[in-house]
Chain A
Amino acid sequence: MKRRLLAKVMCPCCWNKFTPTETLFLATHPEERGDELLGPDEPRRFLPTRFTPAGEAIDPRGFPSTRLACPRCHLPFPSDILERMPLILSLAGMPASGKTFFLASAMWQLRQVLPRDFRISFQDADAFINRPLAANEERLFLSDTPDRAVALDKTELEGGDAFAVQLTAGVTSFLPRPYIFTLRPRDGHLNGASRERLTYHFCLYDNAGEHYLPGADTPAAPGTRHLSEARVLMFMFDPLQDARFRAKLRGVSRDPQLDLPIRGMRQDTLLTELTNRVRAAGGATTGTRIKRPIFLLIAKSDAWAPLVPDIDLATEPHIPAGDAGRVGLLDRDRITMVSTRLRELLGEIAPEIVAAVEDGFERVIYLPVSSTGGAPSMDPDTGLLKVCPSSLHPHWVTVPFTYALARYSTHLVGFTKPESGTTDDRFEVVEDSSHGA
């Protein structure tokens, strides 16, 4: 059976689109080093003309190679990308709004929740590329000293885990590292027999918040161009960086972040900047509402939950597969209700946020997230805000992803029927058209 290659492949690093035949390979011979875009330490990239019987490209010195690279930026990407376009989810937000914690927490929770409650396999597409994110997960959730508080490093604007590429001669550009995950139904899933066909890829990026500031999108720093390719957009609103929320929270929360000075600009300005970048990338005019949905994630819900005592944020809004049948279901009624309630809350305290996001996007889903489930503590020795791994209880961090999955793949995750709790009509059972499972 031949591999079904896409007619056009998109590089998850620079978002260049190219045909599979243009794909470069990474030489494996130790002497084949030096790439004009990535520097002298990188393996040489080459366009292969010869292959082994196993389908491996043969590098200029006769060594077989399987690692692929984009013809434009020369950065490596998983071979699965040749067959399936990844579903890009872009996450934006202010510096220090908690994006890195959210991604680490959400990915770890998805590794638990999807196989267990949704019968979906959730794996790294390329463990090497995903390594920095996995390291953050390990630091938070797999610490061998869980009672010792830890901190995650602030995401760097330059350097760090980003890829350094010389797209323009003499100018080093930093492209965000794509974190790519593979999802497919497991045995026992309603569509488990079609796992090959129903394989999907999630692609995420952990940009520094500074990347989203107005003026930060330059040819030398094109790191947020994934916004234009994203099927799902997420904006992380941090109430603890909003003066009005802080005033209300001082009486109900002891989060030490409330004592830190407010930094940077208003979040509605950032939201407008995000909207403008998406519009500009899509060639849309000012005033055009973007059709793609956006999740407005209201972060650190553990701190502001007392402001909405009527909604339950402690339990997850899904029905596990074991209870619902052979597919996990998202409780759409509950999510809708929470979204509506949060919109009211935001409209009451920070109406400009609601106005900004609804002015730019046709469909907005307001979701609460808490990456840690509790407030961090200030380490007196280091002055760093830290969290204790043993006390981590993330809330709702998987919901944006499972919701996107239910919306864009009607074969893996289902929604409950309105007011019934059973699978709604949109979920499809796929007849296995490939070889046996």
Chain B
Amino acid sequence: MARELVYTSSPQGILPGSHGFCTVAMSQGLPASMRIALESLTGYKAPPWATTLPQCPVEYLHGTVSAGGERFHVVGAVRAATPDHSGRSNKLAHFLILERGELDSNGPVALLRTEGEIRDSWNEAPTLLPPHRDLVPSIHRAPGICHTWQKLAGDPGWAGALVSDFILDASKPTHILVPPETDTLQLADEAVALLPPEWRWRITFSTYWQRSLPNHTCAWRFVFDGTQEAAALRQQGARMLDLVKGGPCPREGRYVEAARSGLLVVPDPTGSLPDEDARHQHQLRATLAALGSTAPERSDVSEQLAGHVPVLESAAAVPTIRERAPNAFGDSTAETPGAARTNSAGTLLTVAVMSFMIGGIIVGLFVWVGLRGDLDALVLAEQEARLTAGAAREAEAAAQTTGAAAAAAVRSLQRELEEVRRTRDGLATELANTKRALAASTAQEQPPRPPVGGRSTGTRAADPAAPPHNGPGTDATTGPATVPTTVPTTEPPAPAESGGPVRVVIVGTESGVLYDLGIDPTWPVEMKGLGDMLVTGVELKPEAGEVLIGDKVVARAKIDSNKWVWILEPPDPLIGVDLSAQGGYTGLLSGLWLNVGTGAERQTVALEVKGHHVPRDIVAGAVGASVQVPPWVKGVRLVGSDGTTALLLEGQPKTIPLPGGRGELVASLTREGVVVKATAIAPEALIDVAYYERCRDFANKYQKDAELFAEGDETRGATLLDLRKSYTSGTSSRVRPPLTSAELRAVTEECKNSKDSLGGAYQSIEVMLGARVASAGDDKEIMRDFAKCLEAIAALAKERLAAAKTFRDEWLSPVFAVTVDGLPSDATTSEAAEGSHAPGTLALIRVTAPESKSGSKGGASP
């Protein structure tokens, strides 16, 4: 079921009074915000070569839009249409709006290719459509060799390169440059099919990309050669696959191999990134090796862990793999019923063998773990047990379809597994008790340690033995915590030492951040936007499987009026949930508070999406300085080289007196960033040293040339002419008047007479060295005057340079160095008192709060 909207030029639209380009049909109850969002996607411009309708490419698209605090998938097409009622060019856009539970496991391209789902004409009166429309099940799309890519570019591996680009960095779009009249939907189809079903809906694409919109993500952008967009792309140096040039794909990797061979990269049921899978596999092998087991081959691992590790399988094996892997909605029974019946006996046998095998491994592991007390092995064992339980569930499901005898056998297996599980739980409890006792004895012997510095995500659980922190990232007794300046967004943190494992995987996208949380089911998860960011949506990861089964909701999330997101019934703790937040500034989401846990175990992290460039230190320029900071930064620290600090909070301008009563600075933190303005400042502070150096060097360089030119040496003087040429070729030359000797002499005098203030001389220098020299002619008299003027400027610059250096060394730097420092969004002035938090913290603040204030809001605590 889906909702829909149709947009075209019509004498009458669905809204009263609308005509021309307007919405002519939409589902009843479609919110206005969604209608507006969809209408913004309807832009269409025919390519320059298209003179007839069939030559106009159709833009098939899949994206997401947010409306009413929720995020929806949009699948649709925008195409040129027959002329409208006024005899002018027309277009037709038809969109289907799908909620998470309405997604077809075959992906968006399969839906677009399903006949009759997307309208290609509209000749009806404006109409309100039924609230929901049933969709025809799309045809399953199996992966295969990407023949269309091969035909177009000579190597099907390009399709794999496209997929790899997305896997490696989903936040960056990839442009695919293709010749006119290419079937780009077919290209998208083949490329999407390389991905496992549960990943296909994560691909946003446009088969005829024309422009970017601020609140619309598009990861794969097919651009036709010969359009303005193609020309612009070539100039920009954007990430691009040039299929017009084609040739062998220079890239290698699993997906490139898959595109060439038709083999499938097996999905991970946890939904984690395949690249992470590789890391997990590596870790698993290392653990097994450490335990003395033989590291299994890839296929063995795959079988044992039921697809937990990515391997390449032949396309023929896909149905079997699909049976084990849940589909995009977590519905593990979504495979073709016929296939399930045919293979049920074999499945049952396989499951039984697997269960015994894995159970044996688990028992062995736990015995070994019990002896060695190795926590890593315990975690591994827990994972194994979970998977074993999953296998048992599958077995049970299979048993229901194959008769009571098989079911009885499965129940027997389940009983054995329960026994194993009880043994495991007992061992785990014992181990935890031992560990707590050990921690308690250690605490008595040693002072508490601060959180380990250098971890990238800061999501470690609080050490229960450690005292509460007084501020962000600072331990009152042990000094500031060391934190990194940037946050790698995909590295999982260490598991918590109590309360169950915590895993946070962060995937930054253009439109938001996905947080993959593996959490203790007893912990609520809260999300709160920082600064201007608004948490507008939350999604539960479909791979968790228990989100929606049929009509039964087993996990829910809600956003309260304070934009806190609560996961009310979290699913499997080891699988976790995906939380998706979309920033108010879509496309540049820069930060988010994330609270995990309750009470003393609550952790608050402020996360920055990678790629957001924030300069750390600035030195004031001529009239002050500014530095842009992410909107979530609520406070900055002004740090002097002498160690003095001044805390600057949003909305609270700060006046900083300059030493020696030479003036003062007014600093403020606004949406635009940190702005430092000088008032009544000493003249030497107006211009920075580097500027003087440039002025001096420039003047010295050209003064001699000007003299030589004036004396008839046009060889050296030619550099001046080149200079003039370089300036006059720019657009700015239009507004710059010619240079005259009289003006040169006036400026020279001004420079010579500039004794107490640099204001006039500063402008003269700027004018002379910048714009005006561009107009200097080859007249020898002008050149002589120009040389004299440059000499005066050089002399003045040299003098002021010395003064500025002195000023900088003695006065300037202690007050102008600004270090951007994040503060908790809900920190108050008293909480963030000067000196109470660590300097240098930019991207990450960790706060380990004591008992929750209210139970609903985390964040910083005094």
Which residues of the other chain, A, contact B41 by a CB distance below 8 angstroms?
158-159
**In the bound complex, CA of A71 to CA of B671 (Å):** 11
Q: A36-B587, A154-B89 are in contact. Are A51 and B766 (CB under 8 A)?
A: yes
Contact with B along A250-273 (1 / 0, CB 8 A): 000000110011011100000000
Which residues of the other chain, B, contact A96 by a CB distance below 8 angstroms?
20, 86-88
Q: A158-B40, A213-B18 are in contact. Are A39 and B587 (CB under 8 A)?
A: yes
Residue in B closest to A220 when the chains form the complex, CB atoms: B36
Which residues of the other chain, A, contact B731 by a CB distance below 8 angstroms?
66, 79
Q: A39-B213, A54-B727 are in contact. Are A265 and B17 (CB under 8 A)?
A: yes
Closest beta carbon of chain A to B118's beta carbon, Å: 19
Taking a contact as CB atoms closer than 8 A, the residue among A55, A260, A436 that contacts B85 in the complex is A260
Taking a contact as CB atoms closer than 8 A, the residue among B53, B215, B737 that contacts A1 in the complex is B737
Which residues of the other chain, B, contact A176 by a CB distance below 8 angstroms?
none
Taking a contact as CB atoms closer than 8 A, the residue among B87, B584, B621, B626 that contacts A260 in the complex is B87
- Among B15, B16, B588, which residue has the most Cβ atoms of chain A within 10 A? B588
B40 and A263 form a contact (CB under 8 A): no
Which residues of the other chain, A, contact B33 by a CB distance below 8 angstroms?
171
B740 and A169 form a contact (CB under 8 A): no
The reply on B214 being an interface residue by CB < 8 A is: yes
The reply on A309 being an interface residue by CB < 8 A is: no
Which residues of the other chain, A, contact B734 by a CB distance below 8 angstroms?
80
Closest beta carbon of chain A to B524's beta carbon, Å: 26
B587 and A40 form a contact (CB under 8 A): yes
The reply on A242 being an interface residue by CB < 8 A is: no
Which residues of the other chain, B, contact A436 by a CB distance below 8 angstroms?
738, 740
Contact with B along A224-266 (1 / 0, CB 8 A): 0000000000000000000000000000000011001101110
The reply on A49 being an interface residue by CB < 8 A is: yes
B20 and A157 form a contact (CB under 8 A): yes
Taking a contact as CB atoms closer than 8 A, the residue among A54, A60, A384 that contacts B771 in the complex is A54
Closest beta carbon of chain A to B797's beta carbon, Å: 11
**In the bound complex, CA of A9 to CA of B236 (Å):** 30
Residue in B closest to A160 when the chains form the complex, CB atoms: B43
Which residues of the other chain, B, contact A216 by a CB distance below 8 angstroms?
18
Q: A47-B672, A210-B18, A434-B737 are in contact. Are A37 and B214 (CB under 8 A)?
A: yes
Interface residue ranges of B67-89 to A (CB < 8 Å)? 82-89
Residue in A closest to B11 when the chains form the complex, CB atoms: A263
- Among A30, A66, A158, A435, which residue has the most Cβ atoms of chain B within 10 A? A158
Taking a contact as CB atoms closer than 8 A, the residue among B11, B215, B613, B620 that contacts A32 in the complex is B613
The reply on A378 being an interface residue by CB < 8 A is: yes
Which residues of the other chain, A, contact B215 by a CB distance below 8 angstroms?
39, 166, 170-172
Taking a contact as CB atoms closer than 8 A, the residue among B40, B532, B767, B769 that contacts A159 in the complex is B40
Which residues of the other chain, A, contact B37 by a CB distance below 8 angstroms?
171-172
Which residues of the other chain, A, contact B621 by a CB distance below 8 angstroms?
49-50
B732 and A260 form a contact (CB under 8 A): no
Interface residue ranges of A62-111 to B (CB < 8 Å)? 66, 71, 79-80, 83, 95-96
The reply on A365 being an interface residue by CB < 8 A is: no
Which residues of the other chain, A, contact B82 by a CB distance below 8 angstroms?
383
Closest beta carbon of chain A to B230's beta carbon, Å: 14
The reply on B643 being an interface residue by CB < 8 A is: no
The reply on B807 being an interface residue by CB < 8 A is: no
Residue in A closest to B628 when the chains form the complex, CB atoms: A46
The reply on B212 being an interface residue by CB < 8 A is: yes
Residue in A closest to B688 when the chains form the complex, CB atoms: A50
Q: A36-B588, A53-B770 are in contact. Are A435 and B53 (CB under 8 A)?
A: no
**In the bound complex, CA of A153 to CA of B84 (Å):** 11
B44-52, B198-206, B245-253, B342-350 - the one binding chain A? B44-52
A1 and B17 form a contact (CB under 8 A): no
The reply on A164 being an interface residue by CB < 8 A is: yes
Contact with A along B346-376 (1 / 0, CB 8 A): 0000000000000000000000000000000
Which residues of the other chain, B, contact A31 by a CB distance below 8 angstroms?
613
Closest beta carbon of chain A to B240's beta carbon, Å: 13
B45 and A154 form a contact (CB under 8 A): no
Taking a contact as CB atoms closer than 8 A, the residue among A169, A261, A435 that contacts B532 in the complex is A169
Which residues of the other chain, B, contact A260 by a CB distance below 8 angstroms?
85-87
Contact with B along A401-437 (1 / 0, CB 8 A): 0000000000000000000000000000000001110
Q: A30-B236, A36-B585 are in contact. Are A172 and B40 (CB under 8 A)?
A: yes
B587 and A60 form a contact (CB under 8 A): no
A60 and B21 form a contact (CB under 8 A): no
**In the bound complex, CA of A424 to CA of B731 (Å):** 37
Interface residue ranges of B600-652 to A (CB < 8 Å)? 611, 613, 615, 618, 620-622, 624-626, 628, 631
Q: A53-B695, A66-B730, A384-B83 are in contact. Are A166 and B36 (CB under 8 A)?
A: no
Taking a contact as CB atoms closer than 8 A, the residue among A52, A171, A196, A208 that contacts B20 in the complex is A208
The reply on B813 being an interface residue by CB < 8 A is: no
Which residues of the other chain, B, contact A144 by a CB distance below 8 angstroms?
none
Closest beta carbon of chain A to B668's beta carbon, Å: 13
B85 and A263 form a contact (CB under 8 A): yes
The reply on A151 being an interface residue by CB < 8 A is: yes
Which residues of the other chain, A, contact B727 by a CB distance below 8 angstroms?
54
The reply on B341 being an interface residue by CB < 8 A is: no
A170 and B584 form a contact (CB under 8 A): yes
B584 and A169 form a contact (CB under 8 A): yes
B534 and A170 form a contact (CB under 8 A): yes
A60 and B613 form a contact (CB under 8 A): yes
B236 and A39 form a contact (CB under 8 A): no
The reply on A306 being an interface residue by CB < 8 A is: no
**In the bound complex, CA of A436 to CA of B12 (Å):** 60
B21 and A157 form a contact (CB under 8 A): yes
Residue in A closest to B585 when the chains form the complex, CB atoms: A36
Taking a contact as CB atoms closer than 8 A, the residue among B19, B622, B737 that contacts A264 in the complex is B19
Q: A153-B46, A166-B214 are in contact. Are A208 and B11 (CB under 8 A)?
A: no
Which residues of the other chain, B, contact A385 by a CB distance below 8 angstroms?
83, 86-88
The reply on B791 being an interface residue by CB < 8 A is: no
The reply on A215 being an interface residue by CB < 8 A is: yes
Residue in B closest to A66 when the chains form the complex, CB atoms: B732
Q: A159-B43, A435-B740 are in contact. Are A378 and B770 (CB under 8 A)?
A: no
The reply on A35 being an interface residue by CB < 8 A is: yes
Closest beta carbon of chain A to B66's beta carbon, Å: 6
The reply on A38 being an interface residue by CB < 8 A is: yes
Contact with B along A297-333 (1 / 0, CB 8 A): 0000000000000000000000000000000000000
Residue in A closest to B13 when the chains form the complex, CB atoms: A210
Residue in A closest to B631 when the chains form the complex, CB atoms: A36
B11 and A264 form a contact (CB under 8 A): yes
The reply on A3 being an interface residue by CB < 8 A is: yes
Closest beta carbon of chain B to A63's beta carbon, Å: 13
The reply on A34 being an interface residue by CB < 8 A is: yes
Closest beta carbon of chain A to B388's beta carbon, Å: 44
Residue in B closest to A154 when the chains form the complex, CB atoms: B88
Residue in B closest to A221 when the chains form the complex, CB atoms: B36
Closest beta carbon of chain A to B759's beta carbon, Å: 12
B510 and A40 form a contact (CB under 8 A): yes
A39 and B83 form a contact (CB under 8 A): no
20 contacts between A and B (CB under 8 A): A2-B763, A39-B587, A41-B212, A44-B613, A46-B628, A54-B771, A55-B732, A71-B672, A153-B45, A153-B88, A153-B89, A157-B39, A158-B43, A159-B45, A171-B215, A172-B213, A213-B19, A215-B16, A256-B87, A376-B87
Besides A158-B39, A164-B40, A213-B19, 17 other CB < 8 A contacts?
A36-B588, A40-B173, A49-B621, A50-B691, A55-B766, A96-B86, A154-B84, A154-B86, A154-B89, A166-B215, A172-B40, A210-B18, A216-B18, A261-B11, A263-B19, A263-B86, A385-B83
* B residues adjacent to A (C-beta < 8 A): 9, 11, 15-22, 33, 36-37, 39-46, 52-53, 66, 82-91, 171, 173, 210-216, 236-238, 510, 532, 534, 536, 582-588, 611, 613, 615, 618, 620-622, 624-626, 628, 631, 672-673, 688, 690-691, 694-695, 698, 727, 730-732, 734-735, 737-738, 740, 743, 763, 765-767, 769-772, 774
A-B pairs with lowest CB-CB distance, top 7:
A159-B43, A169-B584, A36-B585, A385-B87, A96-B86, A49-B621, A53-B769
